Chain A
Amino acid sequence: MTDTRYQSSRDLLAQAGHLLVEQRRQLPEVMLEELAELPNESVPSLAALAHEVRLAWSGPAVDIEGILSVKTGGCAEDCHFCSQSSHFDTNVKATPFLDADEVLAAAEETARLGAAGFCIVLALRGPDERTIDRILELVPVIQERFGLNVNVSAGILTPAQAARFAAGGVHRYNHNLETARSFFPHVVTTHSWQERFDTCRLVVEHGMQLCCGVLLGIGESIEQRIELLSQLRELDPDEVPVNFLNPRPGTPLGERPVVSPLEALRWIALFRLALPRVILRYAGGREIALGELQALGLTAGINALIIGNYLTTLGRSPDEDLGMLADLEMPIGALGEAF
């Protein structure tokens, strides 16, 4: 790397820092494109800036959430990365809606870990009325018994369904864009990116917080990641979970390579710089993408994490994550408004 190039990287980072930290303004898309092209040697500096931005906009607290798949597999959609799709021959066995006791036990475990939230997740295109009834029976019990914000992920919504969830006390509704509009048809054909975007809009319109996640490493280009950032900015979600592809046997993406640690850190930092006020949550695939470097994500813009296991795969032990936060001297705390 030449001195000139090094100087230009430093200048670019200084400009970005001035806009984000001193002026508290968002970066223009063209600057995000330039930051995405920084050489690998500059990723630690990019991460340091992202950490500074996170502290300036959100403080040092880390938000913890537990998630539970209450209805697993058998999904009619063909998301090419998902082992719960009925279109693919995977080794995940479909199971019906869990008993209320099982859900409450999982919520109680989550609360004991110091989590602020608990997310009820269902593998389906969208909920029917009976499914909404069952979810909404659980929401107030979990809130009152365990003091958790209850979040829900139940697929594509109609306006009436969004209104029901909002009225029923759902704190935050999760609906992922996953990837850029231009790439989405390559990985999902049974519904459109626009349907996902519209559901996200409905969530906000009905007064729930929006959790809108992404999945990196499914074949999208750098330009499409920048496009995705722009589309997320349009939605202005409260939370963005960052998932890295964990290639699932039997799915069309089952043989894809895993995102490298340095690439993962670069994009965590870029998501923070593009979305300075958002709750940026470590989600699925972090264990395999970052391995021993997971603590670095928390000094590169991450300020929230899913603790413990995921929907169909396992995570690190909660003790490892809680130990990591203690080592980093980052306090656990709820981000976003409480219920």
Chain B
Amino acid sequence: MTFCVVCGTDLAGREVCCEQPAYDPARYCPKCGRWLVVRIAPTGHVEHCPEHGRLEPS
């Protein structure tokens, strides 16, 4: 992971940036830091990066 999924900041070698709030999906792409389109349904959720496509569930 290169970018923080909570705030989109370049981790620049760090392992963590922000603490991901409980019950929150990723909001930024871990590969490029772009804002994700997040679709949340009752039984699942999908995060989609305009550059990297659908994120694999972590």
Contacts and interface: CB of A to CB of B under 8 A. Distances in A.
Contact of A113 (B36, B37, B40, B43): B43
Interface in A289-339: 307-315, 318
Given A91-B6, A93-B36, A287-B22, A106 B41 contact: yes
Nearest to B6: A91
Given A109-B42, A309-B43, A314-B45, A93 B27 contact: yes
Nearest to B34: A93
A310 B22 CA distance: 13
Interface string A242-261: 00001001000000000000
A31 interface: no
B28 interface: yes
Contacts of B25: 313-314
Contacts, number: 71
Interface in A161-212: none
Nearest to A291: B22
B23 A93 contact: no
Q: Is the interface of A mostly helix, strand, loop or mixed?
A: loop
Interface in B1-50: 6-8, 21-25, 27-28, 35-45
Given A249-B21, A314-B23, A91 B7 contact: yes
A67 B42 contact: yes
A120 B21 CA distance: 25
Contact of B39 (A67, A95, A110): A95
On chain B, which size bracket covers the interface? 20 to 34
A309 B40 contact: yes
Nearest to A95: B37
A288 B28 contact: no
A66 interface: yes
A245 B6 CA distance: 19
Interface of B: 6-8, 21-25, 27-28, 35-45
Interface of A: 66-69, 91-93, 95, 98, 102, 105-106, 109-110, 113, 246, 249, 287-288, 307-315, 318
11 contacts: A91-B27, A91-B35, A92-B27, A105-B41, A109-B43, A287-B23, A288-B22, A288-B23, A309-B42, A313-B40, A314-B45
Given A68-B40, A92-B27, A312-B38, 14 more contacts: A66-B42, A91-B8, A91-B35, A92-B38, A93-B35, A93-B36, A95-B39, A106-B41, A246-B23, A288-B22, A309-B41, A309-B45, A312-B40, A313-B23
